[in-house]
Amino acid sequence: MTPRHDGRPFDQLRQITVERPYRSAAPGSVLIAAGKTVILCTASVEPDVPPWKKFADPPTGWVTAEYSMLPGSTAPRKRRDSGGKVDGRSTEIQRLIGRSLRSVVDMAALGPRTITVDCDVLQADGGTRTLSITGGFLALVDAVAAISDGDGRPLRGVFTDSVAAVSVGVLDRQILLDLDYSEDSRAEVDMNVVMTGGGRYVEVQGTAEGQSFSRDELDAQLALAEAGIARLTAIQRATLGDQWPLDLPRLI
């Protein structure tokens, strides 16, 4: 196969680094990087729920997300969202992040509180939505760990699984894992895959950019994404260490 421009094999993730905790007033804070893409993920806890959940019986919690690319994260400069207006792309991405994180949370165990996971892109080089999910889960775990029940004990059973995400795509008829911007911008097929650590799909977003793909090519991309997410799950577990909230087999 033709080598990638950065020398990676077709099935290799970019180098993943995690700084945890990062400087923040939030109980959950993670600086995560995949190659040149860098995202600050923070998780804040509020003792309240959205209006439509206030009368739930039994009371349950909520997890939501916000996503933003800072002006200096890309060139040319991205205009800052102002006046409460969020551009369509950011709205779509933050909804994806929220859905992904909620898929592994037991809202009844969380109780009547809201956790907001903020994902701020400091530098963008492709894969910002998928890395936000992977890092957002780490910040969410730390935020939950900071909550105690009425007797001062940590909450238990909040997480039903872990969640991570990665991009795959087809470029020059080769299937690639974890595309950076130079690859993603030229890809014939672009796909984002969200999965739990237990191997279940949360969301698959796949689009042909001028070149359609077959069922066999779809299956090959999903298999490559599954292998990449297993490695990301192993990184999440190693990062959290004793804070790992699940009794799941180690994935490598």
pTM for this model (two decimals): 0.93
Q: Would you tell me how many other CB atoms lie within 10 Å of the CB of residue 101?
A: 24
199 closest CA partner among 171, 235, 161: 161
Measure the CA–CA gap between 242 and 232, rounded to whole angstroms: 17
Q: What is the pLDDT of residues 49-86, one digit of tens each?
A: 999 988 888 889 999 999 998 887 888 888 877 666 67
Q: Cβ neighbours of residue 38 under 8 Å, at least 6 residues apart?
A: 31, 32, 121, 122, 123
Measure the CA–CA gap between 47 and 112, rounded to whole angstroms: 7
Q: Which helix (H) or strand (E) holds 232?
A: helix 215-240
The pLDDT value given to residue 84: 62
178 closest CA partner among 225, 248, 114, 123: 225
The structural domains of the chain, with segments of one domain joined by +, span: 16-73+89-240
Could you tell me the fold of the domain covering 16-73+89-240? Answer: Ribosomal Protein S5; domain 2 (3.30.230)
Q: Would you tell me how many other CB atoms lie within 10 Å of the CB of residue 208?
A: 14
Angle at 200 between CA 197 and CA 204, to 5 degrees: 110
237 closest CA partner among 134, 108, 117: 134
Q: Do residues 131 and 69 lie in contact, with contact meaning Cβ atoms separated by under 8 Å?
A: no
Which residue bears the tokens 């894992």?
Answer: 177
Q: pLDDT (tens digit, 0 to 9) for every residue of the chain, 252 residues total?
A: 667 888 999 999 999 999 999 988 999 999 999 999 999 999 999 999 999 988 888 889 999 999 998 887 888 888 877 666 677 888 999 999 999 999 999 999 999 999 999 999 999 999 999 999 999 999 999 999 999 877 677 788 999 999 999 999 999 889 999 999 999 999 999 999 999 999 999 999 999 987 789 999 999 999 999 999 999 999 999 999 998 988 654 443
- Residue 204 carries which DSSP code? E
Q: Coil, strand, or helix at residue 6?
A: coil
The DSSP annotation for 32-52 comes to EEETTEEEEEEEEEES---GG
Spell 38-47 as b/e; 16+ CB within 10 A means b. Answer: bbbbbbbbee
The pLDDT value given to residue 251: 42
